[in-house]
Amino acid sequence: MLTNAPARQAAAHHFEAQLMDPPPLREGNLAAACAEGKDHSTPFPRLLPRKPPPQCSGMKVAITHTRYCFKGGVERYIFDLVKRLLDAGHEVHYFCHFWDDHVDPRVKLHKVPNAWKQIRFMKVWSFDRWISQRVRREDFDIVHGFSKTSYQDIYTDGSGCLLDYQGYSIGEAGGSKLKQSLKRKSWHQKQILAIEQRRFTRGNFHKIVVMADLVGDQIKSRYGLGDEEVVTIYNGIDTERFHPRNVERWDDEYRERNVIPKSAFVVLCVANDYRRKGVPQLIEAARIAQERGLPDGRALRVAVVGKDRHSYEVELSKHARDVGLRDVVKFYGPQDQIDRWHAMADFFVLPTRFDAFGNVVLEAMATGVPTLVSAKAGAAEVVEEGKTGWVLGDPDDVQLIANKIIELAGDREQQKTMGEAGRAAAETYSWDVHFEKMLALYEEVAEQKRAAVASA
């Protein structure tokens, strides 16, 4: 037992150094790492296999993420990717803490222990360490990471750089400067940053996939990476599941189920983390629109689908009631059948302060729903201003949001024309197109790994 303060402090600094600062792999020792199957400059074994992956039509793929389920944007994306890999004849291993009843029986599941789940920074550290040690002992053609991990062949980035993200999640969340400073310097944030710095060190990855140039530019700027290393592949969506025909099938039923008049103008927002996604701004815009009144006396309804802390949801619900929106704004929680909610909507609004992409925007477009999305979402790159929807330059511009609600509610022909244009645009981002690009990237990286091992 350490009985004096200096000794305790020294031990704490030593422990923190072990967590935060393992030396990154350098390009100079890549050949040796390939030959021996691990990197001696870091406590984590290397990603590259001990022998060249077998050349065959079916690849052996490892997916790493904390959850395997059907709720959440990243989770639903991985779910669809895994299904398509399996359908194409590839072998998929999934390493995660948790999975739900939607599991595909063809997936080989590997449970990652979660003994530290009550301590945030240790939970992050332990998942990364377990993946770094255990996954690399197997011989995979591709290791594809989606969570906070240091080493993989391909990493899909769904959040951007931490220091940029802190500006949206901490800097704009309010509170005293001291409170914000303590959050930024917490062990949890420091651990995430340490993992990020290892992840974007050359030699620790083959390709970084980003969902939009918005995030790619962040990573290239902060870590000095090039266009050949950071690749933009816009997300794909299921254009059969999200389809205009759903309107005829589900619109009336879901309005009746949610006690919404058939003639009401329904604004949909699908979001977790309400503050960052701009739900307070949407409520204020709804107040303005309600005060001014919609054309032809149409009723306004705002449906928020997703989740946040219960206390914050209660606070926002109370605020909506206090400003006269008791029957206008409703929170419906997470929903599995999100395609049916899109079918009920007349307008999709996402005034987010930051979103790496925002698949829900493409889902709305594919369903034939006009969209208004913040320029701080990657999905703004696929919206054609004034044709398939609008891009909101300032997510705090509640007057503009209210104006667009009123404008579209009074122009059914514009709503129809925009919806049709959105559908046509969304078809170019189908899952079939996206999967072809991802599979080509898998094959390119697998070949690079074989060549690196053969030349070692």
CATH of the domain at 164: 3.40.50.2000
CB 225 within 8 A of CB 27: no
Phi-psi category of residue 367: left, alpha or beta, with phi > 0 → left and psi -120 to 50 → alpha: alpha
Asked whether residue 275 carries a pLDDT value surpassing 90, the answer given is yes
pLDDT band at 170 (very low <50, low <70, confident <90, very high): low
- What are φ and ψ of residue 194, in 5° steps? -60, -45
CA distance 397 to 391: 11
Q: Are both 185 and 256 inside the same structural domain?
A: no
Note whether 75 and 193 are same-domain residues. yes
Task: Assess if residue 5 is contained within a domain.
Answer: no
Closest by CA position to 271, among listed 344, 201, 178, 374: 374
> Domain for residue 13, yes or no?
no
Q: According to the model, what pLDDT value does residue 185 have?
A: 79
Q: Could you tell me the pLDDT band of residue 140, with boundaries at 50, 70 and 90?
A: very high
DSSP secondary structure letter of residue 186:
S
Number of domains in the chain: 2
Q: Which amino acid is at 256?
A: E
Whether residue 14 is contained in a domain is answered as no
Is residue 94 domain-shared with residue 68, that is, in the same domain? Answer: yes
Q: Over the chain, what is the mean pLDDT? A: 87
**CB count in 10 Å sphere of residue 93:** 17
CB-neighbour burial class of residue 214 (10 A; exposed 0-12, middle 13-18, buried 19+): buried
Same domain? For 73 and 167 the reply is: yes
- pLDDT tens for 76-85 read 889 999 999 9
Residue 56 in domain? yes
How far, in Å, CA of 99 to CA of 111, rounded? 9
Q: Is residue 304 part of a domain?
A: yes
Whole-Å CA distances, 205 to 25, 47, 60, 164, 338: 10, 8, 18, 21, 34
Same domain, 313 and 355: yes
Residue 114 lies in a domain: yes
In this prediction, residue 110 carries a pLDDT of 96
pLDDT at 189 over 70: yes
* 108 token code pair: 């080989």
> Which of 369, 316, 314 has its CA nearest to residue 341?
369
Domain contains 151: yes
Q: Return the axis-axis angle of helices 412-426 and 359-367, rounded to nearest 10°.
A: 120
| 75 and 104 together in one domain | yes
Range of the domain at 163: 29-236+432-454
In a domain, 4, yes or no: no
Q: Which token pair is 408?
A: 């579209």
Do 163 and 292 share a domain, yes or no? no
Residues 388, 201 contacting (CB under 8 angstroms): no
Nearest to 162 by CA among 194, 130, 187, 131: 194
> Is the Cα dihedral 393, 396, 397, 402 positive or negative?
positive
Same domain for 258 and 227: no
Q: Is 39 in the same domain as 185?
A: yes
pTM, full prediction: 0.79
The pLDDT tens digits of the residues spanning 352-379 come to: 999 999 999 999 999 999 999 999 999 9
The yes-or-no verdict on residue 91 having pLDDT over 90 is yes
pLDDT at 37: 35
**Cβ-Cβ contacts under 8 Å for 166 (sequence gap 6 or more):** 184, 189
**In this structure, are 394 and 373 located in the same domain?**
yes
Q: Please give the Cα distance from 211 to 165 (Å, whole number).
A: 16
CA separation for the pair 321, 325 (Å, rounded): 5
pLDDT of 173 reads: 57
**Spacing of C-alpha 435 from chain mean position:** 17
Q: How far is Cα 119 from Cα 126, in angstroms, rounded to an integer?
A: 10
Residue 445 sits in the same domain as residue 359: no
Query: Could you tell me if 289 and 354 lie in one domain?
Result: yes
Annotate 373-403 with DSSP letters as a single string. EETTBGGGGG--BTTTEEEES-TT-HHHHHH
